[in-house]
Amino acid sequence: MPTLTRGRYGKDNVRVYKVHRNADGTQTVAEFTVSVMLEGDISTSYTAADNSIVVPTDTMKQTCFIIAKQHNVLPSELYAASLAQHFIDTYPHIHVATTNVIQHRWTRMTVDGKPHPHSFHRDGADLKIVEAVASREAASVSIKSSIKDLLVLKSTGSAFHGFHTDEFTILKPTWDRILSTSVDAAWRWTPFKTVAEVEANAAVFDRAYEAVREITMATFAKEESPSVQNTMYKMCEQILEREAGVKAVEYQLPNKHYFEKDLSWHKGTKNTGADAEVYEPQTDPNGLIQCTVER
């Protein structure tokens, strides 16, 4: 007899925007794409068509708006946690609620040398993403904050040599290469007992986000990188040192290759080694380097 071993369901891609009208006349905006997934005593909805226990996914979508209206949505850790905890508090048969809040960048414009009170621009494709998991059994909210798709490139200051070689190796060691990657970095917080505790840490979440961006870019730029592996480990070390509430850091870095082009076929043009100026960016395949570093 078949057995339902796992079932969870929810609403994905809920678009939410909120404006905050500040006392000084300026406005602050936030735009999110949200997902909610619920787990609990819901197996008979799958096996016996019992819809009485199904909180409709449309109700989850409406909840995204109501919680956004009732609570601060910034930092997004607070919105994700408030939303997840709502489902645990409201529905006794729901035991785990997972929310994923993707925050789209809206950075205040500088106009005539001054921050504009209500105009914003997208100054990068990178996203801040927060996952919150509210658990009835653990009586806690676990939060993972992250940055995704932060595209960076350095034109020198990166090497890769001394690697293992065998009869399958054709890669040449290099002491000077282009390094480019799209940064996915995540940092897991020591779980919080309540949403109130999350709210009390609001400033810490913002500070950590800025610290991760700053550490990632400064380390990438300043370090003479011997490998992606070592450079990402150094980023993790610094984040753990800087933020006491962070228990683990994860990085995923694709190594976006730029290949030298031999142009000697054209009138003996020198374009390799120290003469290399024109390269061919590769879309695929790419190296993919991942790590998790815990306290």
In whole angstroms, how close is the CB of 292 to ligand AZA at the nearest point?
17
In whole angstroms, how close is the CB of 124 to ligand AZA at the nearest point?
24
Tell me the torsion sign for CA atoms 185, 254, 228, 167.
positive
| Nearest residue to 154 via CA among 124, 182, 180 | 180
Which of 28, 72, 140, 229 is in the footprint of ligand AZA by CB under 6 A?
229
Q: Is there a catalytic annotation at residue 148? A: no
Q: Can residue 220 be called a binding residue for ligand AZA (CB under 6 A)?
A: no
Which of 133, 143, 228, 235 is in the footprint of ligand AZA by CB under 6 A?
228
| Nearest residue to 30 via CA among 86, 73, 77 | 73
Which of 255, 256, 260, 276 is in the footprint of ligand AZA by CB under 6 A?
255
| Nearest residue to 97 via CA among 112, 75, 111, 82 | 82
In whole angstroms, how close is the CB of 278 to ligand AZA at the nearest point?
21
What are the helix (H) ranges across the chain?
A: 43-47, 57-70, 76-90, 195-200, 202-222, 228-242
In whole angstroms, what is the distance from residue 241 CA to residue 250 CA?
14
In whole angstroms, what is the distance from residue 197 CA to residue 135 CA?
15
Spot the catalytic one: 28, 33, 44, 57.
57
In whole angstroms, how close is the CB of 183 to ligand AZA at the nearest point?
14
Q: Is there a catalytic annotation at residue 257? A: yes
Applying CB under 6 A, the span of 18-26, 100-108, 204-212, 222-230 interacting with ligand AZA comes to 222-230
Collapsing DSSP to helix, strand or coil, 262 comes out as: coil
Question: Quick one: 125 or 171, whose CB is closer to ligand AZA?
Answer: 171
In this structure, what DSSP letter does residue 260 have? E
If phi over 0 gives left and psi between -120 and 50 gives alpha, with beta otherwise, what is residue 267? Answer: left
Residues 131-160 that bind ligand AZA (CB under 6 A): 160
Burial class (CB in 10 A: 0-12, 13-18, 19+), 123: exposed
Question: Quick one: 107 or 282, whose CB is closer to ligand AZA?
Answer: 282
Nearest 5 degrees, angle CA 283-CA 284-CA 288?
110
Which of 59, 108, 287, 293 is in the footprint of ligand AZA by CB under 6 A?
287
Question: Quick one: 273 or 285, whose CB is closer to ligand AZA?
Answer: 285
Applying CB under 6 A, the span of 30-38, 56-64, 189-197, 223-231 interacting with ligand AZA comes to 223-231
Q: Is there a catalytic annotation at residue 128? A: no
Question: Quick one: 59 or 286, whose CB is closer to ligand AZA?
Answer: 286
In whole angstroms, how close is the CB of 117 to ligand AZA at the nearest point?
45
Residue with tokens 């494709």: 125
In whole angstroms, how close is the CB of 175 to ligand AZA at the nearest point?
13
In this structure, what DSSP letter does residue 112 have? T
Q: Which residues bind ligand AZA (CB under 6 A)?
A: 160, 171, 227-229, 255, 287, 289
Point out the residues that are catalytic: 11, 57, 257
